[in-house]
Amino acid sequence: MAILRLGGQRLLLGVLRIASPRVLSSPFTMPPKRKQEKAEETPAKESKKVKTDEFSSDAKTSDGKKWNLKIVSWNVDGLRAWIKKDGMSIFEKEEPDVVCLQETKCSDDKLPEEIKNMKGYKSYFMSAKKDGYSGVALISKKEPLLVTYGLDDETHDDEGRCITAEYEDFYLVTAYVPNAGRKLVTLDKRMDWDPKFRKYLKELDAKKPVIMCGDLNVAHKEIDLAKPKGNKKNAGFTPEERAGFTDLLAEGFVDSFRHLYPDKTAQYTFWTYMANCRAKNVGWRLDYFVLSERLVPNLCDNLIRSSLYGSDHCPITLLVHL
């Protein structure tokens, strides 16, 4: 492969193409479905059984077209720990076209071989300069036309927060948005990120529709966390962070989950490890698929996979017809 630097941005070009057993109408090639007969388990310490048939779906667009593209997003809270907790079983359970990971916390030289060289997938990583911090990954069946890293902003790019993959008909962006921190010590960093990221997405959207996913570190509305009244001055639910997300939606983007399920309660993607919060479902919806408005007719479903363990977040799955 070759890496080209343009305006401070790293471009990855010339990746070998993957041979495909058959071609579907989807923008991605999907292998034949495996038989779904046996239940699979998360690690023993998680003590939770998950059946593979829980991941099948007949979701369709509003005009009756069945999904043909599946994207999974998951904040793994440490890639190597996630692998040890059987996180990679998501590939067998979901059979996704693309998996986007956030908070990988792993430098390039420490990436496990099983995730770097997955059969049938191409893997792209952006790590932070600081080892064990932040980081994102994008793992795709189909080779993107182009993969770019970061926002062309040195401060944020040094923290490994964003990968963009360009496909024929859309851009896919995965992001790990800065956390405002305990006592809001990094709220200024977050407030610097939001307008820059919004501008970046708007520039992409002017060329092709955008699918953006990741841990956005904000619960947008009171319905999006279990205890809104006690968290209005805490990271993830401050007026500033919530307004930043509102501003993004106002620029022609849609929170796909709330578009489909505007009034659905107790739907969370993150639970602190403290106080047995996951078992009690005292959580936050911090993980999103945000779409360009013109992709709404292509939307089939947005699923929160709360039955899957391996992190303090659970994965979310987008189904679209393209």
Up-side HSE of residue 59: CA atoms within 13 Å toward CB?
20
Whether 176 is catalytic is yes
Up-side HSE of residue 30: CA atoms within 13 Å toward CB?
19
Point out the catalytic residue in the list 176, 268, 288, 309. Answer: 176
Question: For residues 161 and 150, is the Cβ–Cβ distance under 8 A?
Answer: yes
Residue 36 dihedral angles phi and psi, to the nearest 5°: -115, 80
Up-side HSE of residue 252: CA atoms within 13 Å toward CB?
14
Nearest Cα neighbor of 278 from 313, 249, 320, 244 is: 313
Query: Residues 133-155, buried b or exposed e (16+ Cβ, 10 A)?
Result: ebbbbbbbbbbbeebbbbbebee
Nearest Cα neighbor of 158 from 135, 189, 181, 185 is: 135
Point out the catalytic residue in the list 97, 194, 215, 312. Answer: 215
Whether 224 is catalytic is no
Q: Which residue in this structure is represented by tokens 């060329």? A: 207
Identify the helix (H) or strand (E) that includes residue 197. helix 187-205
Identify the helix (H) or strand (E) that includes residue 260. helix 256-260
Catalytic residue positions?
A: 176, 215
